[in-house]
């Protein structure tokens, strides 16, 4: 019976049309790639992440999250190889060492930040702000109308940065984080202005 159905389907249904649009990470071009942050005179380079950067992302995660990597190599590979709507921006120091990154999905008019991390010794230098600002520029160029994210309820430093960048508080997601079941605060920024 299954074979008959398969034969009927192949004869009577038009072939499935795959989305021919290029991946988000392939169609975006960065307007600016070299930055000098006001807090230091150091020069930084911004690039769009690829599979070759995954080990750097995991290293940054481990340095940022007490030796733990919330996202696995397999998860990053899926994001960079399969997910048509994902993008990663990576910032490197003058020695070309990756010091921070941001990842996002662009879906149905919303640029949702999935993860952001900066090596602890590079925090409070404006790198997180730069990553979010550059992602916002891309979101606007891609006609997204909103940016969103979840942040640990206890992470007041990150929340302060997001507020400075115009994000507003949303609802609390109970037991959002799988490792310790901490609550998450939803935050959002309108891009319609």
The residue annotated as part of the active site, out of 61, 79, 134, 150, is: 150
Total domains in the chain come to 1
SS3 164: helix
* CATH number for the domain that contains residue 39: 3.40.630.30
Query: SS in 3 state form for 61-78?
Result: HHHHCCCCCCCCHHHHHH
In a domain, 163, yes or no: no
Residues 86, 105 contacting (CB under 8 angstroms)? yes
User: How much is the pTM?
Assistant: 0.85
What does the CA dihedral 165, 169, 174, 179 come to, rounded to 10 degrees? 10
The residue annotated as part of the active site, out of 44, 88, 122, 162, is: 162
- Please confirm, yes or no, whether 162 is among the known catalytic residues: yes
In a domain, 129, yes or no: yes
In a domain, 99, yes or no: yes
Q: How many CB atoms lie within 10 A of CB 181?
A: 9
Residue whose token pair is 């037991």: 175
Mean pLDDT, residues 19-48 taken together: 84
**Confidence (pLDDT) at 42:** 83
Mean model confidence pLDDT for the chain = 88
Residues 90, 56 contacting (CB under 8 angstroms)? yes
**Confidence (pLDDT) at 181:** 86
- Please confirm, yes or no, whether 150 is among the known catalytic residues: yes
Q: 95-139, pLDDT tens digit by residue?
A: 999 999 999 999 999 999 999 999 999 998 999 999 999 999 999
In a domain, 90, yes or no: yes
- Residue-number span of the structural domain to which 28 is assigned: 22-144
Q: 170-181, pLDDT tens digit by residue?
A: 999 999 988 788
């Amino acid at each position: 019976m299954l074979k008959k159905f398969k034969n009927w389907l192949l004869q009577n249904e038009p072939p499935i049309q795959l989305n021919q649009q290029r991946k988000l990470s392939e169609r975006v071009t960065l307007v600016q790639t070299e930055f000098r942050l006001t807090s230091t005179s150091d020069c930084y380079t911004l690039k769009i992440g690829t599979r070759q950067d995954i080990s750097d992302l995991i290293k940054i995660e481990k340095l940022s999250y007490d030796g733990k990597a919330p996202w696995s190599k397999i998860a990053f590979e899926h994001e960079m190889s399969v997910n048509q709507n994902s993008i990663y921006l990576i910032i490197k120091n003058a020695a070309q060492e990756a010091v921070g990154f941001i990842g996002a999905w662009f879906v149905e008019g919303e640029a949702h930040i999935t993860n952001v991390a900066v090596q602890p010794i590079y925090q409070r230098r404006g790198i997180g702000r730069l990553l979010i600002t550059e992602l916002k520029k891309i979101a606007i160029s891609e006609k997204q109308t909103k940016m969103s994210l979840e942040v640990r309820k206890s992470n007041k430093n990150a929340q302060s940065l997001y507020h400075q960048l115009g994000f507003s508080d949303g609802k609390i997601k109970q037991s959002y984080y799988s490792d310790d079941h901490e609550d998450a605060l939803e935050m959002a920024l309108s891009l319609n202005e």
